[in-house]
Amino acid sequence: MGPRAEKFSRGTYIAGYTCLLTNPVPENYLRIQQAASAIRRSIAARGLFRTVLHLARRATPRGGQASRADQTHPFDREYGVETSGLISGRELAAGHAHDLHSPAYYGIAPSIFKSAIGHWAEALRPGLKLEQYSFVDVGAGKGRAVLLASEYNFRSVVGVELNGGLASIAQKNAIQWKNMGRARCDIQIVNQDATACRWPPMPLLVFLFNPFGRQVLLKLLNILKQEANQGAKPIDVLYVNPEFAFVPDRFPGLLKLWSRKLEMTEADEAVDAFSSRGELCNAYRFQPATGSVLRS
Ligand SMILES: C[S@@+](CC[C@H](N)C(=O)[O-])C[C@H]1O[C@@H](n2cnc3c(N)ncnc32)[C@H](O)[C@@H]1O
């Protein structure tokens, strides 16, 4: 399979699909699952006919070369940072057991991010203010969401990223962002697996832009539940492009607050690698264990 195949749609998803077509022994079951789910989503979004056309167009050399995935997002040009590009999960492998569960790197559309935070902030936990929360981007990539989050008055902003190369780009971006005076709070980038990191001892807004599949997601939710219960700590979760929503939807003690289709601005839509017009976003809240008093 050529490198161009890995740039299709959400990274490895379509790469896995190409694999299915060309290789009678697929590389692994996970990749096939990812490919199948990408195709299901594409059919849901575009319909069967347009999905077939879309795949065919992308399978031609011209379609691949013209890919929007290679374009620099205007956000990068405006602020002199580097957050663009679509990188497949395979290219991101960092030698960790969780590599296989990572679909791809792709920075969130700024308009989607702002809209998600805006809706979340409209319905904060009673008695708490945004300023009391620490924002944690799980799977921070090159740090676009982290940079955007630091423009709000969070108590702190943390980006956790498994891939060392992406984490150092995020770190450089954070320095540039601070030097420009755009950050209103401290930014920390941690190069670690999200299920092994230490969580700030304060109310948390955990941000997920489809960073991994169901197994790692379930592991993460179990850890967050423990955090929430042990310290009686308020924890909310925003899950954008919630491909594995059935995991949080069925997770005991996690309340689904809302689910919305967020619209992109025209500027974001024009450079979106998947020609999307919006993203689905789900918001969840860990319910305090019975008898506990929430700590701020
Ligand atoms: C879709 S990108 C999200 C980028 C960023 N959150 C944003 O919104 O701009 C998902 C990221 O999750 C990272 N990732 C995947 N598995 C991870 C894990 N177990 N721990 C930490 N990061 C992980 C990937 O390397 C990738 O950069």
- Which residue shows structure tokens 């980038």? 189
Sign of the torsion angle spanned by Cα atoms 36, 251, 167, 80: positive
Q: How far apart (Å, rounded) are the C-alpha atoms in residues 252 and 168?
A: 36
- Which residue shows structure tokens 């930014």? 187
Distance 201 CA to ligand 1 centre (A): 22
Q: What are phi and psi of 58, to 5 degrees?
A: -75, -20
Mean per-residue pLDDT of the chain: 83
Distance 253 CA to ligand 1 centre (A): 25
Ligand 1, residue 92: give the atom nearest the CA: 25
Ligand 1, residue 101: give the atom nearest the CA: 16
Q: What is the mean pLDDT of residues 205-214?
A: 97
Closest C-alpha to ligand 1, atom 10? 211
Query: Which residue among 83, 137, 212, 216 has the greatest number of ligand 1 atoms within 8 angstroms of its CB, and so is best to mutate?
Result: 212
* Residue bearing the bigger pLDDT, 127 or 42: 127
Distance 49 CA to ligand 1 centre (A): 31
Closest C-alpha to ligand 1, atom 11? 139
- For residue 41, is pLDDT > 90? no
- For residue 16, is pLDDT > 70? no
- Which residue shows structure tokens 């319909």? 47
Task: Extract the tokens encoding 187.
Answer: 């930014």
Q: How far apart (Å, rounded) are the C-alpha atoms in residues 33 and 140?
A: 24
> What end-to-end distance do the CA atoms of the chain give, in Å?
51
The strand order across the sheet containing 235-240 reads: 186-191, 156-161, 134-138, 204-209, 235-240, 278-286, 254-263
Domain architecture of the chain: domains with CATH: 1-65 (no CATH), 104-286 (3.40.50.150)
Distance 144 CA to ligand 1 centre (A): 11
Q: How far apart (Å, rounded) are the C-alpha atoms in residues 112 and 278?
A: 7
Taking CB atoms and a 6 Å cutoff, what residues make up the pocket around ligand 1? 92, 98, 102, 105-108, 137, 139-141, 144-145, 160-163, 166, 193-194, 209-212, 216
Which pLDDT belongs to residue 35?
Answer: 61
Which pLDDT belongs to residue 241?
Answer: 97
For 62-75, the pLDDT digits (tens) are: 444 447 778 899 99
Q: What is the mean pLDDT of residues 236-255?
A: 97
